[in-house]
Structure 1
Amino acid sequence: MKIQLYILRMVGTRVLGAALILFSILQILDLLEVTTDILGRGLGTAGVLYYAALRSPRLIEQVAPIATLAGGLFAFSQLARESAIIAMRATGISAYRIVAMAAPIAFLVMALDFSCAQVIAPRTDPVLAAWWQATTPVADRKVPGPRSFRSSDDLVIADGASADGRQLNAVKVYRRDTSSRLIERVEAPTATYVHGGGWTLNRPVIARFSGERVDVVPAGKLAWPSPLHPQDIQALFADSPVPTAATARRALLSGGGDRPASYYETRLLAAFAGPFAALVMLLISAPVALANFRSGQGAMLLTGGLAAGLLFLVINGLLSALGEGGSLSPLLAVWGGPVIFASLALYALVALEG
């Protein structure tokens, strides 16, 4: 028990230290780009801190895997230099058990990564976007163009949306028959979300097409049974939308989507596979624990581990992009990188242990 606590403390402190350093670097680089604008709007130091707080979940999501790699390399190399690994193996503790003792740190990072990506950031991103838009000088505000997307079998075009995603502006809904022929078009100045599900089109004008005949019928209100949620609207009208597992799933189940199904399938799988990058990084760093630093093997394994971790991030991102574009199976695109690199890391660990 004391040995496991020692390893947990050794790996945990290094991972935490690496995470704080990387997070600080990314935070500083991010603030360098926006601090002048924030101060120019008269928001002061409070505005800078507010921006930094709302951006933190996305930055934590970015640094989690590489912090695990860096912390693991530092911790395992120190254990090897101090001959602690040799002492542990002399008592009958294998390298596999040593890695298993450090695994809870990776699981903790995975939980934090998932929470930031799927729970916290989807709530802070719209708040940050609304705050940034509200504080932008009127002369510098950019009017977003209309967005087109799918909702069940309907095709929808909207010029804008409210910050909370509960209202659409200048809505056009196109409905088709089973042969994909246009049979109805509904135009409304606004559409509001009804608590409990569904939408209401305000002052709609309904045009029904039957051959060459067009019947135009105005109305005061019209129920629109769309499966769109306010979170879907926020994602659709965001400058850089990052679908969560929930929004990707709803898009696949006839919710709001403006991209091919392969994109949402990949994003749905990536929401659960992404946090496993921390565990892969820990496995990649583990072979350093068995290195002989007196012969120069330690430096080679340190360099190789760092290079392998960075290569994993690049290949994983490339495979995900291919999956989102439909060029690769979403399952292979999301899980291919973690499985391959985890297998290579385990092979290296087995070879060194043997």
Structure 2
Amino acid sequence: MKCLDRYIAYQVLGAVFVILLVVVGLDLVFEFVEQTGEINDRYRFVDVLSYLMLRIPSRLYEFLPLASLVGCLVGLGMLASNSELTVMRAAGISIQRIVLAVMKPAMLLAVCALILGEYVVPVTEQKAQSSRALAQSAGQALRSKHGVWHRENNQFIHINAVEPGGKIHGVTRYSFNDQRQMVASSFAKSGVYSTDGWLLEDVVSTLFLGDRTQTEQADQESWKSGLTPTLLSVIVVDPMDLSISGLWSYSSYLGEQGLDSNQYLLAFWSKVLQPAGIFALVLVAISFIFGPLRSVTVGQRIIAGVIVGLVFKFSQDLLGPASTVIGFTPLLATAIPIVICLIAGLFLLRKAA
């Protein structure tokens, strides 16, 4: 039985790898075309290539569930086309035993997804976004469209780029009073974090004093803020590119500031439940092979897998905003498509048995 498990795992993992290579490769080509339109004297061709290379882990993580579904359909489909599954059944191997053999490589894929999402993607994505923002901003206030905005009490903050290790570039701050009138604005070229807070450098401040303004300059200025390098590394990238621990800590921080944290909670539960989503999609793929897609061509299986995978992803993407509007929890929005896939897979397998 160990030889059979290894053979099935080899077929499934090989197909998943090929599908993942094709999908990620196409996605990088499309993003390369998009990024070349932003090339200028600061953001050069080599910067584009560096940015794309750093984004590979996040693309692998995003497309792993779809690749698991389509790869399982292709791998098991090849076994079915060569009558190898028929031989296994004739030898007395049950469908449940074959399902167990396929779930072992699926478990490996789920573990790889967790490692990528927790330890690799947050680091590489922050480096990618920071390097691009630094190249495009050239140290000027609000120059980079890829910087981040944040609100803290009555202060609105824009940061052009955040480097790993606690260094920030292009810090613009707007301060308002309780009547929502701007009382001050400032721009700092850079800043470093210490135990006492942020130490900003090359600061230019403007005070709004009724009918006149006053400009001040300082080589250094201390800035007390609840934003730490850890929290900044969270807000500089998209929620789905953050670690599970980072999402939870930043959601708690937003709650303390009285801000909406549903977007980050949705990403948190999506990442926590992604292994379950991979298992559910693989189960659907297995049920298709023993059911409606048993005798169709490889191309038809790929099309069916892509359709199911896209429906799964779109349903999660639609239920996320709907959870905010209707009022149910992000956990439920993430879990509903997974539960539906599990029920559908078990139902089809039961019919095929």
Specify if TM > 0.5.
yes
> Contact 1:11–1:105 (CA<8 Å) still a contact in 2?
yes
Higher alpha-carbon deviation: 5-14 or 238-247: 238-247
Q: Deviations over 1:135-181 (max 9, x none)?
A: 3386998356883424xxx45422436522545835467899xxxx9
How far apart, CA to CA, are the structure 1 residues paired with 2:114 and 2:347?
28
> Contact 1:266–1:324 (CA<8 Å) still a contact in 2?
no
Q: Tell me how far 1:16 sits from its aligned partner.
A: 0.8
How far apart, CA to CA, are the structure 2 residues paired with 1:3 and 1:28?
38
> Contact 2:266–2:331 (CA<8 Å) still a contact in 1?
yes
Q: Tell me how far 1:305 sits from its aligned partner.
A: 4.9
Q: Which amino acid aligns with 2:314?
A: V
How far apart, CA to CA, are the structure 2 residues paired with 1:322 and 1:192?
39
Residue 149 of structure 1 corresponds to 151
Query: What secondary structure sits across from 1:260 in the alignment?
Result: coil
How far apart, CA to CA, are the structure 2 residues paired with 1:47 and 1:300?
40
Q: Deviations over 1:24-78 (max 9, x none)?
A: 111111112224644865845x445422211111211222111111111111112
Residue 216 of structure 1 corresponds to none
Higher alpha-carbon deviation: 333-342 or 79-88: 79-88
How far apart, CA to CA, are the structure 1 residues paired with 2:301 and 2:227?
51
Q: Which amino acid aligns with 1:19?
A: L
Residue 217 of structure 1 corresponds to none
Query: What secondary structure sits across from 2:171 in the alignment?
Result: strand
Q: 1:286 to 1:68 in 2, by over 3 A?
A: same
> Contact 2:175–2:185 (CA<8 Å) still a contact in 1?
yes
Q: Tell me how far 1:98 sits from its aligned partner.
A: 0.8
Residue 263 of structure 1 corresponds to 263
Q: Tell me how far 1:91 sits from its aligned partner.
A: 2.7
How far apart, CA to CA, are the structure 1 residues paired with 2:337 and 2:294?
33
Q: Which amino acid aligns with 1:8?
A: A
Residue 4 of structure 2 corresponds to 3
Residue 344 of structure 1 corresponds to 344
Residue 12 of structure 1 corresponds to 13
Is residue 62 of structure 2 the alignment partner of residue 62 of structure 1? yes
Residue 251 of structure 1 corresponds to 250
Is residue 33 of structure 2 the alignment partner of residue 29 of structure 1? no
Q: Which amino acid aligns with 2:79?
A: L
Query: What secondary structure sits across from 1:169 in the alignment?
Result: strand
> Contact 1:80–1:292 (CA<8 Å) still a contact in 2?
no
Q: 1:257 to 1:121 in 2, by over 3 A?
A: farther
Q: Tell me how far 1:6 sits from its aligned partner.
A: 0.9
TM score, norm. by length of structure 1: 0.75
Residue 83 of structure 2 corresponds to 83
Residue 157 of structure 2 corresponds to 158
Q: Tell me how far 1:284 sits from its aligned partner.
A: 1.3
Q: 1:100 to 1:239 in 2, by over 3 A?
A: closer
Q: 1:31 to 1:85 in 2, by over 3 A?
A: same
Residue 230 of structure 1 corresponds to 229
Q: 1:237 to 1:289 in 2, by over 3 A?
A: closer
Residue 334 of structure 2 corresponds to 334
Q: Which amino acid aligns with 1:98?
A: I
> Contact 1:79–1:289 (CA<8 Å) still a contact in 2?
no
Q: Which amino acid aligns with 2:74?
A: F
Query: What secondary structure sits across from 2:253 in the alignment?
Result: coil
Residue 98 of structure 2 corresponds to 98
Structure 1 gaps, min length 5 = 206-219
Q: 1:239 to 1:286 in 2, by over 3 A?
A: closer
Identity over aligned residues, as a percent? 20
Q: 1:259 to 1:18 in 2, by over 3 A?
A: farther
Q: 1:249 to 1:200 in 2, by over 3 A?
A: farther
Higher alpha-carbon deviation: 308-317 or 62-71: 308-317
> Contact 2:173–2:186 (CA<8 Å) still a contact in 1?
yes
Q: Which amino acid aligns with 2:11?
A: M
> Contact 1:161–1:233 (CA<8 Å) still a contact in 2?
no
How far apart, CA to CA, are the structure 1 residues paired with 2:261 and 2:295?
53
